[in-house]
Amino acid sequence: MLNFCAKGRLLLTLLCFTFVFTAVTQYESYNFKNFPKEELMPLTSAYGLALDHYAAENWTESVKYLELSLRLHRLLKDTARYCMRHCNNAKYTELSFKENLDLRAYWHVMMRASCLKKCRARFPALHPPLPSQEITEDFSRRSPYRYLHFAHSKLNDLQRAIPCAYTYLQRNPKDQEMHRLMEQYKSQYDLSGSLTDHEEQPYESSFLKGVKLISSGDYSSSVDHMEEALRLYLHEYELCQADCEGISRLTPGSDFYPAVADVCVGVLKCKLKCEENLIPNVGGYFVEKFVATIYHYLQYAYYKLNNGRSAVPCASSYFLFEPEDQVMKQNLQYYKAYSQEWGLQPEHFTARTEALKHFNQTVTQKQMLALAEGYLEMDDEDFFGPEEAALLASESSDVDFEGMGDYEESIYAKWWQPRGKGDAGESHT
């Protein structure tokens, strides 16, 4: 018998190593539709001023503009999301282009562009100039919180400095210098509970509550929190996907179709990084394969509640993402062997609808990216044939092109996941 609860206690131990500290969140009074006009300025300018003051050791001014930069970044993100979702749901005038598919495609692009242009005109945050990719990556890595921690500590304001350090570490757990500073804080101050993560997503707290409840044996309540975590995560995942289409950068001077292809490849790469960008951090460990992990917890909790009709679709959903998991395979075989006792029908052995949608979406995107990069990297011989390629090579000296590169999914840390439904291979009693 696999001792799931012992593993659950291990996770609770990890949770106990985090700390509580009262702090004011960056977005306590934030509302993207009512953002103070006096604070509006390009994110590039605000962040530039923050770093300039930081370099000059003007800590108060640096804090002011770093916090403003965080709010402006959130404003930019939220307004772009609003416009994308609004235009995704908008109904456009349909014209008949039955004989010309190109015109039909152009018409849809123009209608969508028109909608986005009108929507963005309402929000100054989306007016040019937009931040560079380097700046947006800085915010994705939570770098501003590293600067904020140091600036607050220089101002002897540890009540604000320590939560900033914790927020940064949640995305950068391998930063040894910040870990060393956190250990110093732990040795000098009484920090109990859990620190405030200024960028915590709602699904993270729901997931942690669900894990704690499963470990305590309260399976009924744990199911509610795990289902909520799944729903909130998939919602945030869709918003992340929309973010990738919100702000694109065209290559200057490029032809139309190559420019569109470059944007599409960039969007696909961005969308495939959503899983990495949304991965939760628990006790310094990233919860990899988060969606599959939730289904694993759910199938275990439903099993403990003797609710096979809910457990089996969750087990099938997990197996969809992890088809090589032998323990889950045994669990599904067990359920099939005792289908009558559990009141199961063939349709119960199908993955849940949202699991199928999420799985198909990510698989299709990976396939599209691989195909796109493959076609964009084709050499002359692949495209024209050997004879014509040789002729072209002799006529042109500009034959050294660099490829687009391969997509690689970052893996930050190993994460313990529950094995099986808790009693893998046990007989039905």
pLDDT per residue as tens digits for the range 289-318: 999 999 999 999 999 999 999 999 999 999
User: Would you place residue 18 in the very low, low, confident or very high pLDDT band (cuts 50, 70, 90)?
Assistant: very low
Whether residue 229 contacts residue 207, with contact meaning beta carbons closer than 8 Å, is answered with: yes
User: Would you place residue 120 in the very low, low, confident or very high pLDDT band (cuts 50, 70, 90)?
Assistant: confident
Tokens of 292: 């599959």
Range in 41-45, 60-64, 330-334, 368-372 with the lowest mean pLDDT? 368-372
Distance CA 298, CA 296 (A): 5
Let me know if 204 is exposed, middle or buried by CB neighbors in 10 A (0-12, 13-18, 19+).
buried
- pLDDT at 331 exceeding the cut of 70: yes
Tokens of 54: 């930081």
CA distance between the termini of the chain: 14
User: Would you place residue 26 in the very low, low, confident or very high pLDDT band (cuts 50, 70, 90)?
Assistant: low
- pLDDT at 324 exceeding the cut of 90: yes
DSSP symbol at 281: E
Percent of the chain with pLDDT over 90: 51
Of 5-9, 15-19, 104-108, highest mean pLDDT: 104-108
Predicted pLDDT at 248: 63
Distance CA 8, CA 14 (A): 10
Predicted pLDDT at 4: 42
Residue 312: count of CB within 10 angstroms of its CB: 25
- pLDDT at 411 exceeding the cut of 80: no
Tokens of 303: 């099993």
Counting every residue, how long is the chain?
429
- pLDDT at 380 exceeding the cut of 70: no
Mean pLDDT computed over every residue of the chain: 81
Distance CA 65, CA 47 (A): 7
420: left (phi over 0), alpha (psi -120 to 50) or beta: left
Strands 285-286 and 281-282: antiparallel
Give mean pLDDT, residues 42-48. 94
- What is the phi/psi pair of residue 282, to 5°? -120, 115
Distance CA 178, CA 162 (A): 10
User: Would you place residue 65 in the very low, low, confident or very high pLDDT band (cuts 50, 70, 90)?
Assistant: very high
Give the SS3 label for residue 282: strand
Predicted pLDDT at 399: 41
- Check residues 370 and 316 and name the one with the higher pLDDT: 316
Range in 120-124, 167-171, 191-195, 358-362 with the lowest mean pLDDT? 191-195
Whether residue 149 contacts residue 164, with contact meaning beta carbons closer than 8 Å, is answered with: yes
Predicted pLDDT at 326: 94
- pLDDT at 144 exceeding the cut of 90: yes
Tokens of 200: 């915590």
Distance CA 42, CA 160 (A): 25
> What's the alpha-carbon Rg for the chain, to the nearest Å?
26
Distance CA 153, CA 162 (A): 8
Predicted pLDDT at 22: 41
Distance CA 261, CA 325 (A): 37
Give mean pLDDT, residues 114-130. 85
- pLDDT at 208 exceeding the cut of 80: yes
Predicted pLDDT at 86: 87
Let me know if 43 is exposed, middle or buried by CB neighbors in 10 A (0-12, 13-18, 19+).
buried
Predicted pLDDT at 108: 79
